[in-house]
Amino acid sequence: MISTARHYLFLLLCLAPAIAQSAAIDSLKTFVQETRTVRATFSQTLIDRDMRILQKTTGAMQFERPGKFRWTYEKPYEQLIIGDGVRVWFYDYDLNQVTVRKLDPAIGSSPAALLAGSGAIESNFSLSESGTQGGLEWLEARPKNKEGAFDLVRVGFTPAGVLTSMELRDNFGQTTMLIFSRLEKNPRLAPDLFKFTPPKSADVISD
């Protein structure tokens, strides 16, 4: 499982604090309001609290608001995560194992809720600006539900408001860094992308 926000010059210096104060949050809210579907590829890096790289993966993602999403991990291990609007399906190809969870508890305060949720971001997250870094405008989102797997999500946008990065810090001090590429807003997506039928031979675990 899912990578945040940035700025300018002289005559704008006196205005910059006010502009910077809401740049990334405004980009997120605009993204949520104007984007119903998304398709993108991504690279993902998992690092521990000592900044050591534990794993690198690549894949593709699609989502359709509200609550439908598909994350396909292609390398080095194949995995599939699908939200069909009611349930979330996690399929590990190597283990041939499927885990199923109800959508609301699974997505409510998760990073996926920032992108594929209903749009009520601030009911689930406390948002704050975290400034400009690496040419991106970053915001921090802290889940209000403290029982989730993540305690901090950072989201990075270009100054033009293009979603580029997410950083997810979990309760074990590990950080997942996501970089999105070839991101398309509002493409037409086939409904079958968000449907999943477990293989007959798979072990299925549900809550």
Please name the fold of domain 16-189. Answer: outer membrane lipoprotein receptor (LolB), chain A (2.50.20)
Place 117 in a pLDDT band, splitting at 50, 70 and 90: low
pTM for the model stands at 0.78
What does the pLDDT read at residue 114?
65
According to DSSP, residue 110 is labeled: S
Length of the chain: 207
Average pLDDT, the chain: 81
Q: What does the pLDDT look like over 124-153, one tens digit per residue?
A: 788 899 899 989 999 998 888 777 677 888
What does the pLDDT read at residue 138?
94
What does the pLDDT read at residue 143?
82
String of b and e for 104-138 (b: at least 16 CB within 10 Å)?
A: eebbbbbbbbbbbbeeebeebbebebbebeeebbb
C-alpha count within 13 angstroms, C-beta hemisphere, residue 121: 23
Residue 104 clears pLDDT 80, i.e. is over it: no
Domain extents in the chain: 16-189
What does the pLDDT read at residue 125?
81
What does the pLDDT read at residue 204?
93
What does the pLDDT read at residue 19?
32
**Cα–Cα dist 16/101, whole Å:** 44
Measured in degrees and rounded to the nearest 5, phi and psi for residue 56 equal -125, 135
Residue 4 clears pLDDT 60, i.e. is over it: no
Tokens representing residue 133 in the block: 């870094």
What does the pLDDT read at residue 12?
23
Sheet with 203-206, edge to edge strand ranges: 125-133, 136-143, 150-157, 163-170, 175-185, 37-47, 53-64, 68-75, 79-84, 87-92, 97-102, 203-206
Q: What does the pLDDT look like over 10-52, one tens digit per residue?
A: 222 222 233 334 588 888 888 888 889 999 999 999 999 999 9
